[in-house]
Amino acid sequence: MTGALPSTVGGPFRVVVAGAGVAGLACVHRLLALARERGLPLRLTVLEAASRPGGVIITDRVDGCVIEGGPDCFVSDKPWGLDLCRRAGLADEIVGTATSHRRSFVYMRGRLLPIPEGYQLLAPSRMLPFTMTPILSLRGKLRAACDLVLPRGPRVPDESLASFVRRRFGQETLERLAQPLLAGIYNADPERLSLRATMPRFLELEQKHRSVILGLLRDRRRSPAAASTGVSGARYPLFVTLRSGLQTLTDRLAASLPPGSLRLGTTMARLEPLADATGREAIAGPAGPVRGASRWRVSTYQGETFEADAAILALPACAAAPLVRPFDERLAHLLTAVPYGSAATVSLVYRRTDVAHPLDGFGFVVPRCENRRLVACSFSSVKFPGRAPGDRVLLRAFLDGKTSEGADPARLERIVRDELRDILGIASAPLLVRSYVFARAMAQYEVGHLERVQAVEERLARHAGLALAGNGLRGVGLPDCVRSGELAADSVLATARVVSLAR
Ligand SMILES: Cc1cc2nc3c(=O)[nH]c(=O)nc-3n(C[C@H](O)[C@H](O)[C@H](O)COP(=O)(O)OP(=O)(O)OC[C@H]3O[C@@H](n4cnc5c(N)ncnc54)[C@H](O)[C@@H]3O)c2cc1C
């Protein structure tokens, strides 16, 4: 959005933001920066149901360890996360993954087997390591190589990730490599996840090159820098984090809010459109006429009421749905159709001497067909510098919704310790354990998701001064959530111009 905004007549432009996770905080950071730049008086109220800002971003610093409860890193090829860290004055805090042991393992029948170098989530980008891996049978490898000669798939509106991998590379590659690697990211069933909404790059490779493997090989040839940095299953050079943990970012953003604007322990209970200031049915928006309210009344469960010119719901889609239902049943229905899964992480600190495994990788994933309760485990103190003192190791286990829902921390610890005893041979008690449960926190973009997103955006265009942000629509990763918050800020400030003209 460009151009100077006129100051609103009759008082500041009032914005209420619900949710102080990274999306809400990125949103208010941008609102404040743009308002300052354009001389727009702004009155900001940020409602956060929890007693702390940050949402699922939680860092605990205990006994010299940096323990991440939720996300532990983010990709740098989507620039919004990194840019926000830099703008928040945290450039010196940004660190990449360790340069040694850049590989991960797959657990199979009692052993940890290295993921073949160059294997990228759904497909191999290097053939030699793929042909040598013991993870797949000869038959499985031959089936995967069929991708080189198979024609393009039929053009369909959308397809599941599982269907795509099965079609191009076969069931074995799906079960032993793609499914566990995807579970480590989405914690969801690839039979249901949308290819177009989660991994569109692979569909583009097929459409452009016919063979996904040939497409990846050509990409590698075009980008030798990526090849020389050992791009592999997780493309490790792309991942970054903050030295003192990701909560440093959300703490910094929260601390930069105007005094009194962040209300912790305050839950938005009701959102109510009021007739626009002039009483007209529709007002001119930047993209044509905008119908509906341009003023909002917000009530909280704590008994407060605010009036605002704009309301931004930086919430999981399932939490935003009940708030919009009273004035837009269809929008609520679309938001409810985005399922949310639960997850838990359990971080354990051990003496290095208590772990027999060499920990010569960043961690491992567990295929569902192994019937274990662990989804994945990161060797956090190997993956990132400064996560634990030199004589300790920090491991972080990832559990799915079925195991984590309703489980108390003691039970989660017991499950993880049993699993780590079997898989890594750790018999000793950990020096420290921290468990974190995230109920309905991970959005699952199912087949048809992008059509739903488009329908949501069409409904939103009817409501001047209402915007959504967060992980429910256009990306679950931290950079995408930051971007969603920034775009929401842009969109409501676009209505500031309209509101000021209408007043
Ligand atoms: C265990 C786990 C690991 C992850 N790992 C990674 C990773 O390594 N890299 C990565 O990029 N991404 C990762 N993600 C995804 C990413 O962290 C999230 O998608 C992102 O942080 C979500 O941010 P958000 O602001 O949209 O939502 P949230 O963090 O969920 O914040 C929403 C906030 O809204 C508040 N709220 C809810 N309802 C109301 C209401 N009615 N009124 C007021 N406040 C309300 C909540 O209390 C919460 O604080 C992970 C997610 C989880 C759960």
Q: Give the contacts of 269 (CB within 8 A, at least 6 positions apart).
A: 299, 300, 301
Which protein residue's CA is at the shortest distance from atom 35 of ligand 1? 19
Q: Which of 46, 313, 478, 480 to mutate to test the pocket of ligand 1 (most atoms within 8 A of CB)?
A: 478
The torsion angles phi and psi of 81, rounded to 5 degrees, stand at -70, -50
Give ligand 1 pocket residues (Cβ under 6 A). Answer: 18-24, 47-50, 55-57, 70-74, 267-268, 314-316, 319, 343, 345, 438, 441-442, 470-471, 476-478, 481
Task: Indicate which atom in ligand 1 lies nearest the CA of residue 22.
Answer: 25
Helices (H), 46-112: 80-87
**Ligand 1 geometric centre to CA of 52 (Å):** 13
- Pocket mutation for ligand 1, best pick of 28, 56, 346, 412 (most atoms within 8 Å of C-beta): 56
- Which residues are CB-neighbours of 190 under 8 A, at least 6 positions away? 160, 161, 162, 165, 174, 178, 179, 182, 183
**Count of alpha carbons within 13 angstroms of residue 15, beta-carbon side:** 36
pLDDT of residue 101: 92
The residue whose CA is least distant from atom 27 of ligand 1 is 21
The residue whose CA is least distant from atom 17 of ligand 1 is: 71
The CA-to-CA distance between both ends of the chain, in Å, stands at 22
247: CA distance to ligand 1 center in Å?
12
Q: Report the nearest atom of ligand 1 relative to the CA of 323.
A: 41
pLDDT (tens digit per residue) in 318-327: 999 999 999 9
Contact between 106 and 364 under an 8 Å Cβ cutoff? The reply is: yes
Other C-beta atoms within 10 Å of 289: how many? 13
- The ligand 1 atom at the shortest distance from the C-alpha of residue 266 is 43
Q: Mark out the alpha helices in 158-270 (DSSP H runs).
A: 161-169, 171-173, 179-186, 195-198, 200-209, 212-222, 224-228, 247-255
Instruction: Indicate the residue type of 56.
Output: V
Averages of pLDDT over each 10 residues, the chain, 503 residues:
38 95 98 94 97 98 98 96 98 95 95 95 93 97 97 94 98 98 92 97 96 93 58 70 98 97 98 66 46 80 95 98 97 98 97 96 97 97 96 97 90 97 96 96 97 97 95 97 98 74 53
The angle, 0 to 180 degrees and rounded to 10, between the axes of the packed helices 212-222 and 200-209 is 90
18 CA closest ligand 1 atom index? 43
**Ligand 1 centroid – CA 60 distance (Å):** 17
- 447-484 pLDDT per residue, tens: 999 999 999 999 999 999 999 999 999 999 999 999 99
**Count of H helices and E strands in the chain?**
19, 24
pLDDT the model gives residue 231: 39
Q: Which atom of ligand 1 is nearest to the CA of 19?
A: 34
Residue 228: its pLDDT value, please? 42
Q: Is the dihedral of CA 176, 179, 181, 183 positive or negative?
A: negative
Q: What is the pLDDT of residue 282?
A: 44
What is the whole-number distance in angstroms between the Cα of residue 55 and the centre of ligand 1?
A: 5
How far, in Å, is the centroid of ligand 1 from the Cα of 146? 40
Pocket test for ligand 1, best of 48, 270, 315 (most atoms within 8 A of CB): 315
pLDDT of residue 236: 81
Nearest CA owner, ligand 1 atom 19: 476
CA 55 to chain centre: 12
Distance from residue 24's CA to the centre of ligand 1 (Å): 10
Q: What is the whole-number distance in angstroms between the Cα of residue 56 and the centre of ligand 1?
A: 4
Residue position matching structure tokens 């929260």 = 254
Domains of the chain: 13-55+248-339+446-502 (3.50.50.60), 73-100+340-443 (3.90.660.20), 116-232 (1.10.3110.10)
Measured from the CA of 442, which atom of ligand 1 is nearest? 53
How far is ligand 1, taken at its centre, from the CA of residue 475, in Å?
12
The pLDDT of residue 217: 92
For the CA of 24, the closest atom of ligand 1 is: 25
